[in-house]
Amino acid sequence: MATFASSARGDRVRRLMIGLALLGLLDASYLTWLKFAHATCGVGGCDVVNSSPYAELFGIPIALFGALTYGVILFLLWIEPRLAQTWAEYARYAVFGITFFGVVYSAYLTYVEIAIIQAICPFCVVSAVTLLFLWVLAMIRVLQAAP
């Protein structure tokens, strides 16, 4: 009997997640480049948000943390089918945990944009929605693979 991770449906969900993680990586990499290059975006409130004190944590751009997060998610999704079943299960749970934390942190940052900075960065919204979809798909994968 095939497990969810090795089933055709599970593989399609994993590939969809890889696509979403690539989108998130591109989005976060662009925001990171804007921050390091001191470039302007000119879309919505992007420049206001990206130049706020909330755009950095310990002097490191939040967008760089996002890019690294998407990179880790991509790595885990890529390596998962190459692992033994137990380790593949750990990778699935790790993706779930990372995306859950990402959604919670993105919700906080969205609150900061709306309530404190009073500007919305469309690229930040793309990242938040991407993480939300990744989390939902990760939750489906974990629930479907449960015994």
Domains belonging to the chain, first-starting first, are 8-145 (1.20.1440.130)
Q: What span, in angstroms and rounded, lies between the C-alpha atoms of 92 and 52?
A: 35
Q: Residue 87: how many CB atoms within 10 A of its CB?
A: 12
Q: Is 1 helix (H, G, I), strand (E, B) or coil?
A: coil
Per-residue pLDDT of the chain (147 residues; tens, 9 = 90+): 345 544 677 789 999 999 999 999 999 999 999 999 989 888 888 999 999 999 999 999 999 999 999 999 999 999 998 989 889 999 999 999 999 999 999 999 999 999 999 999 999 999 999 999 999 999 999 998 776
Q: What is the pTM of this model?
A: 0.89
Three-state SS string over 9-64 comes to HHHHHHHHHHHHHHHHHHHHHHHHHHHHHCCCCCCCCHHHHHCCHHHEECCEEHHH
- pLDDT of 44: 85
Q: Which two tokens stand for residue 91?
A: 């990778």
Our CA angle for 62, 63, 68, nearest 5°, is 100
Q: Which among 4, 1, 40 is positioned nearest to 144, based on CA atoms?
A: 4
Q: Which among 135, 70, 125 is positioned nearest to 101, based on CA atoms?
A: 135
